[in-house]
Amino acid sequence: MDNFWQKLKKPILSTTPMAGITDSAWRQICKEWGADVVHTEFVSVDALYYDSKKSLRLLEYKASEQPVVVQIFGKRAELYPKAAQVVAATGVAGLDINFGCPARKVAGHGGGICLLRDIATVRKIVENTINSVDIPVSIKSRTSLYKIPGQANGGSITALDLIDALADLPIAAMIIHGRSYETPFTGPVDLDMLKACKTKFKTGPFLINGSFQTIESVIDDLKYTGADGIALSRSLYGRPWLFKQIRDYLNTGQYQEITWPEIKKTAILHAHLLYENRGPKGFECMRKHLLFYVKGRPDASDLRKELVAVKNPKDVEKIFNRL
């Protein structure tokens, strides 16, 4: 098995899967701005097993996006071989298994991060997947969750337990979000746990997620944890250029603020790519991205009424070219 993760220049700068965000157009924009690895939206194992056309469309990508990683989720280990083979047949660079999603529709049914309460099933899922495909299989999870739902005094299951359970398997890479299931997106990141995970994980690159505050803080966190890279998620909303800024700061100790002409160019290109990939019906998804791009402008509130009504790239060009 050729592990592309091992060949990437460190620190590795990656996206993470985000439902409704990380489609092909978004991934192409992130690559334009220097992402080393891009992820699809996460895809249901059950849907892939039963050949859902909607889910199969999530696997579509452009060659320029490579290396592309498809993240899958589900709690039925017996479905993973076929689902993994469907993914591998597309020619993507890698496959990632989600053991970290805190969303109610996933974790609430025993999937995502809550699967860690059944570590035997977790191991079976990973074994089944690795044994079914010839592409690298990576893992994404979180720092911890309570063993007994809602009971802090019941103890916690941690990412260290996950690493121990899979220690003898050839995991290609691991991404750990620095917060627990109980505090999914806000509050401090457990950098000490991330550091301990990096020390324990031996089979591939280890990336941290969830800690982004500033460009400078990324470098501090990478140094403190010893991580091989960082996977960005919600911090990228309207700011795909973070990849370039981080890389510039790593290489030179400084980075440039992005100008409005650069933002405008990116937004218009994004609109064209999304229209090309999803057509008129799917173009409504662009509206939320446009709101991200103008966030912080003094006229953002006024622009909102126009941006939530755009129907094609020409509408976007008309609005942005007058700003």
The overall pTM is greater than 0.75: yes
| 123, containing H or E segment | helix 119-132
Task: Identify the pLDDT of residue 103.
Answer: 80
Task: Identify the pLDDT of residue 113.
Answer: 92
pLDDT digits (tens, 9 = 90+) for 14-35: 999 999 999 999 999 999 999 9
Q: Write out the two tokens for 285.
A: 């998804």
Task: Identify the pLDDT of residue 191.
Answer: 97
Among residues 227, 222, 233, 237, the alpha carbon closest in space to that of 207 is found at: 227
Q: How far is CA 222 from CA 103, 143, 181, 199, 231, in A?
A: 27, 16, 22, 13, 11
> Which residue stretches of 62-118 are H helix?
80-88, 104-107
Q: Write out the two tokens for 30.
A: 């992130």
Q: Write out the two tokens for 273.
A: 């790519």
- Residue-wise DSSP of 184-243: -SSS---HHHHHHHHHH--SS-EEEES--S-HHHHHHHHHHH--SEEEE-GGGTT-TTHH
- For 81, the 3-state DSSP assignment is helix
Count of helix runs (H) and strand runs (E) in the chain? 14, 11
Query: How far, in Å, CA of 63 to CA of 83, rounded?
Result: 22
Q: How many CB atoms lie within 10 A of CB 148?
A: 11
Burial class (CB in 10 A: 0-12, 13-18, 19+), 23: buried
Query: How far, in Å, CA of 27 to CA of 20, rounded?
Result: 12
Residues of the chain under the 70 pLDDT cut: 1, 108
- For 31, the 3-state DSSP assignment is helix
- Backbone conformation region of residue 8, classed left if phi is above 0, alpha if psi is from -120 to 50, else beta: beta
pLDDT digits (tens, 9 = 90+) for 62-115: 999 999 999 999 999 999 999 999 999 999 999 999 999 888 778 767 789 999
Task: Identify the pLDDT of residue 111.
Answer: 83
Q: At residue 138, what is the residue type?
A: S
Architecture of domain 4-252: Alpha-Beta Barrel (3.20)
Say which residue the tokens 């510039």 belong to. Answer: 248
